[in-house]
Structure 1
Amino acid sequence: MTTTLTFDATPAADAPTPKRRIADDTALLKAAAELTREYSTANPRIYWTDFLASAGIGYAALVATILAGSVGWAIAFGVVAVLALYRAESFIHELTHMKHSTVPGFRAGWNALIGVPMMVPSFMYEGVHNLHHARTRYGTVDDPEYLPLALMKPWTLPAFILIAALAPIGLIIRYAVLAPLSLLSPKLREAVVARYSGLVINPEFRRRSPEGEAKALWTKQEIAASLWAIALVALVATGVLPLRAFLIMMGIASAVAVLNQVRTLVAHLWENEGEPMTVTAQYLDSVNVPPPALLPGLWAPVGLRYHALHHLLPSVPYHNLGIAHRRLCAVLDPASPYFKANYKGLPGLMWKIGLSSITRGAKR
């Protein structure tokens, strides 16, 4: 959902040489293109097994959290629920890139089990995330998923993370209140579509109304999410769903949103000032956290630990990114720019981005 927090995006006076001036590395792009052809086929068995297991464990842990007889067990089950549901929800990223004919029914299954119950149906990402991968849009004001966070005031980083905690409340308002009311007001409907129908971080982004097949899918998903949100509110208001259970559900959903926002914070270096960048420059502004680090498998699941590589190979399914990474490491020269986007873990990345914000953003 679009944030309503507006950030000061003016670059600092002593910002480094813009990455847009970095020339494309021919050897890197050629090797990546060859791997795209070799590893671009999705494996339906991997997708369904991984997704269904994640969703099943997540919901089972959610129920266990609600029924837990002690705080200790509730916290333990809650952590499992957050991690598993976060992994299941992260498949929305794959939905935006896959050829749906290769994994039949996956979009419908994901929306039925995760998208609608979590109130993040896939239309909120499909048709939006692909703009982030457009060569002329990445890092510009037209990119829905980019802000020069490393060049902003230091307070924007904690605000960027904490605002995500309000996402579940915002989504209930979006689907239980604004969606029905927008049917009565064309002006409100226009605002809902433009400002509150995308999982974006750029407050200046305005979404266009869908057309054709995309509009039909949007309508079905929005109706389902709206009915679920209204039913959820009604169940709580009538006491059918205990308030304690509802608050636990909201808390876990909030934790999932915060975890994803932390992952988003370290997915890029956020150093571009708004100008178009070369593909290599876009890669260097993005982040890989490859093995041997283990924790990225939890906070950057479903291939998101290879986010920089994904910008080189957007059509490669998540289960092949690790193989592609190892192949590139083996064939590229050690001096290749490819290795400059690989980092060790979350603490170092947060320190790097935070330090950049403190040293450059604070001087505005």
Structure 2
Amino acid sequence: MYFSELDSGAASGKPALPPRSYEDKALLRAAAALNQELSRAKPAIYWTDMLFSAALGYAGLFVAMTAPSMGVAIAGALAAMLLLYRASSFIHEISHLKPDAVPGFHTVWNLIAGVPLMIPSFMYEGVHTLHHHRARYGTVDDPEYLPLSRMRTGTLAVFMAAAALAPIGFLIRHAVLVPLSLLSPRLRGAVMEKYSALAINPQFRRPAPDAKLRRSWALWEGVASLWSVGLIALVAAGVVPVRAFLVYLAVLSGAMIVNQVRTLVAHLWENDGEEMSITAQYLDSVNVPPPGYLPVLWAPVGLRYHAIHHLLPGLPYHALGEAHRRLIAAMPEGTSYHRANYRSLRAMVMRLVRASRMAGRG
């Protein structure tokens, strides 16, 4: 059995990890070999998966907005939440894809998912890659890291509440702050630094984008602002029913909550700000591989292999399962690779809650 003892009933619930400076050279060599073999993105898989998820998700959203039966409406809303969450998760792939690896995908994804779901790609591009920076991971300069295992339980509640309210925050950003910021350089600076990144670290301040990203940012921010202002205007005019608008916000909020739960178990969140080796970053991250099937829903588009992703950030999502199978076969039982594999969402959430309670008592 190759699952970590963290999820197999170990009394401590926390196996000892090697020093943060330790590098497992055998693991890194095996990963590098896979990177050469599996790094080519397959456009047919990207297009089919994303378009199919979006189409079914919007169909479910339509059912939730219009069904006379409460049961049917709830079923539609749940389907929409999970499918649109999957479609939106391609923002992660976009942040890693090489230019022209999947021609046209960036534009089409923004049009059918990024803008309607109020998370245009510029909010992740140039941000998420900082999380993979060798010297930034787990430090105060990492936009996607908080030492949650060392924080009190109340922090987890605030963390989840922020996700639930995120769609309202996005609507305010795109419909109110962006237009106003065109009139105020000071406000514009604040919007760009503080409110233009899908980040969880409240201390993170987004650096200025390069010329290429600045052009893309301006385009998609403008489109997202027009979408949000237009949506509010249509609701105010009675063209879009209030019920439909509230269902839309509720579905987006549900998707954000699922993603935030996934984020809770994406890492062990134990680093206290020190620089970490690649191996240490891998061991601080989490895979939830088969035989479980539920991760397909709450960690879609390869996110169930989050630890492998930190070893091989350039690997396309459809190759991560094969990379896992090869690494399991190549690395002996008890070596570093096996220690980042866990059984279930529930066990990881409970582990984090226990750690937070201990932090509170300390």
TM range (shorter): over 0.9
Closer, same or farther: CA 22–114 of 1 in aligned 2, 3 Å:
same
2:275 paired residue number = 276
Confirm or deny: 8 A CA contact 1:19 1:277 kept in the other structure: no
Confirm or deny: 8 A CA contact 2:64 2:72 kept in the other structure: yes
- Which structure 2 residues correspond to residues 40-51 of structure 1 after superposition, within 5 A? 40-51=39-50
- Which structure 2 residues correspond to residues 135-284 of structure 1 after superposition, within 5 A? 135-284=134-283
- Which structure 2 residues correspond to residues 282-297 of structure 1 after superposition, within 5 A? 282-297=281-296
Confirm or deny: 8 A CA contact 2:58 2:84 kept in the other structure: yes
Confirm or deny: 8 A CA contact 1:20 1:276 kept in the other structure: no
* Cα distance in 2 for residues equivalent to 1:46 and 1:57: 16
- Cα deviation, 1:158-177, whole Å, max 9, x if unaligned, reads 22112211011100100000
Structure 1 runs, 4 residues or longer, greater than 4 Å off:
15-20
2:361 paired residue number = 363
Shift of 1:44: 0.2
Shift of 1:22: 4.8
Indicate yes or no: 2:314 matched with 1:305: no
- Cα deviation, 1:9-65, whole Å, max 9, x if unaligned, reads xxxxxx998865351101100000000000000000000000000000000100011
2:89 paired residue number = 90
Confirm or deny: 8 A CA contact 1:268 1:286 kept in the other structure: yes
| Greater mean deviation of Cα atoms: 203-212 or 193-202 | 203-212
Shift of 1:208: 1.6
1:70 paired residue number = 69
1:3 paired residue number = none
Q: Report the secondary structure of 1:276's partner residue.
A: coil
* Cα distance in 2 for residues equivalent to 1:174 and 1:17: 43
Confirm or deny: 8 A CA contact 2:181 2:188 kept in the other structure: yes
Confirm or deny: 8 A CA contact 2:153 2:357 kept in the other structure: yes
Letter in structure 2 aligned against 1:159: V
Confirm or deny: 8 A CA contact 2:308 2:320 kept in the other structure: yes
- Cα deviation, 1:67-116, whole Å, max 9, x if unaligned, reads 11111111111111000000000000000111131100000010000001
* Cα distance in 1 for residues equivalent to 2:19 and 2:200: 21
Shift of 1:211: 2.7
Letter in structure 2 aligned against 1:282: Q
* Cα distance in 1 for residues equivalent to 2:89 and 2:199: 15
Shift of 1:132: 0.1
Letter in structure 2 aligned against 1:62: L
Q: Report the secondary structure of 2:96's partner residue.
A: coil
| Greater mean deviation of Cα atoms: 149-158 or 296-305 | 149-158
Structure 1: runs of 5+ lacking an equivalent: 1-14
How many residue pairs get aligned? The number is 349
- Cα deviation, 1:146-202, whole Å, max 9, x if unaligned, reads 000000011111221122110111001000000000000000000000000000000
Letter in structure 2 aligned against 1:94: E
Structure 2: runs of 5+ lacking an equivalent: 1-13
2:33 paired residue number = 34
* Cα distance in 1 for residues equivalent to 2:170 and 2:55: 23
Confirm or deny: 8 A CA contact 1:18 1:273 kept in the other structure: no
Letter in structure 2 aligned against 1:362: G
Confirm or deny: 8 A CA contact 1:135 1:277 kept in the other structure: yes
Confirm or deny: 8 A CA contact 1:18 1:272 kept in the other structure: no
* Cα distance in 1 for residues equivalent to 2:25 and 2:361: 37
1:122 paired residue number = 121
* Cα distance in 2 for residues equivalent to 1:329 and 1:168: 39
1:80 paired residue number = 79
- Identity, in percent, stands at 58
* Cα distance in 1 for residues equivalent to 2:165 and 2:99: 32
* Cα distance in 1 for residues equivalent to 2:222 and 2:281: 37
Q: TM-score, normalised to structure 1's length?
A: 0.94
* Cα distance in 2 for residues equivalent to 1:334 and 1:17: 16
Closer, same or farther: CA 298–55 of 1 in aligned 2, 3 Å:
same
* Cα distance in 2 for residues equivalent to 1:107 and 1:322: 24
| Greater mean deviation of Cα atoms: 338-347 or 17-26 | 17-26
Letter in structure 1 aligned against 2:360: A
Confirm or deny: 8 A CA contact 2:20 2:275 kept in the other structure: no
* Cα distance in 2 for residues equivalent to 1:16 and 1:316: 28
2:321 paired residue number = 322
1:9 paired residue number = none
- Which structure 2 residues correspond to residues 43-62 of structure 1 after superposition, within 5 A? 43-62=42-61
Question: RMSD in angstroms over aligned alpha carbons?
Answer: 1.3
